[in-house]
A and B are shown apart, each in its own frame.
Chain A
Amino acid sequence: DTGVSQDPRHKITKRGQNVTFRCDPISEHNRLYWYRQTLGQGPEFLTYFQNEAQLEKSRLLSDRFSAERPKGSFSTLEIQRTEQGDSAMYLCASSLSGRETQYFGPGTRLLVL
């Protein structure tokens, strides 16, 4: 297993455009998490899935953000009408329920111009 992968690694977009990121978790992991990290800060929780069910969303996840995990495997995070404040590193992690350890992907760095 190659671990958690994320695509793309970098994305530059213009304000107002929509972007979509993909996360492929470790194959046997049923939990998947999205975090956002801005420069000089620790990550902030956005949302998490157990299998295909989205169990919790942070208040940070505005209406412009939507996440899906349709078959309980990979997940997508879409940001509509991007704003400059959305510029950040978007991290995905996966774990097995009942286990504390989350394994992180390399992140997608988003820059909104």
Chain B
Amino acid sequence: TQLLEQSPQFLSIQEGENLTVYCNSSSVFSSLQWYRQEPGEGPVLLVTVVTGGEVKKLKRLTFQFGDARKDSSLHITAAQPGDTGLYLCADSNYQLIWGAGTKLIIKP
């Protein structure tokens, strides 16, 4: 059974700081998706990465996929309060297998 571990579990930082969160899998990802979920809402897809070593950018968010396709990182530059949420990674097989998420709070 594939296990996804996300770290840290919780992160609280000041507006303007940079941060990195991680997602590690016990086995190779089919493809990896990052989602953000706000309280009381469903997850919203941020990005899908497929190829080992792939880097994708979404404004101030940079997503890296490890060469071996077993790990990924999400880096946020100059975090803003609107970045607050639960960041989830998932292996996007036909059924998504999820990590437990990193709860991120950006304080103004």
Contacts and interface: CB of A to CB of B under 8 A. Distances in A.
A4 B42 contact: yes
A93 B92 contact: no
Interface in A96-113: 100-107, 109
A42 B94 contact: no
B42 A93 contact: yes
Interface in A4-59: 4, 31, 33, 35, 40-45, 48, 56
- Chain B interface size range: 20 to 34
Given A100-B33, A101-B45, A48 B40 contact: no
Determine chain B's interface SS by DSSP, over half rule. Answer: strand
- Chain A interface size range: 20 to 34
A43 B99 CA distance: 8
B31 interface: yes
A105 B44 CA distance: 9
B76 interface: no
10 closest residue pairs by CB, A with B: A42-B98, A104-B42, A45-B95, A100-B92, A42-B100, A104-B43, A107-B42, A41-B100, A42-B88, A106-B41
